[in-house]
Amino acid sequence: MKSVYQSIEEMDKVFIYIMDGSIPICYWKGDIKEFVNPNPTFRWITMKNDPAVGKVANDYEAGMI
C-alpha cells in the first residue's frame, strides 16, 4: 500500500472499491482501526453501490467481500 501518511495513527478512514475497469462502482468506507489487529479473523464486508455512477442500481446488489 502507498500512502502519504507516516503512520497508521494519522489515518482516519479507509475505502475499498469494486472496479469496473477504471471506474469504481461499489465501495466500502470504514475506520482504519478495524485493520490494525495483528491476529485478524475473517469477516464479510458489505459494499455500497455508488448512485452517482449508476452501474449498480441497489445497495443489496453491491456485493460483499
Where do the structural domains in the chain lie, given as residue ranges? Answer: 8-61
Closest C-alpha to 31, from 58, 55, 13: 13
Q: What is the pLDDT of residue 24?
A: 92
Interval 13-62: pLDDT, tens: 889 999 999 999 999 999 988 888 899 999 899 999 988 898 998 888 89
Residue 1: band (very low, low, confident or very high) from pLDDT cuts 50, 70, 90: low
Closest C-alpha to 45, from 20, 15, 1: 15
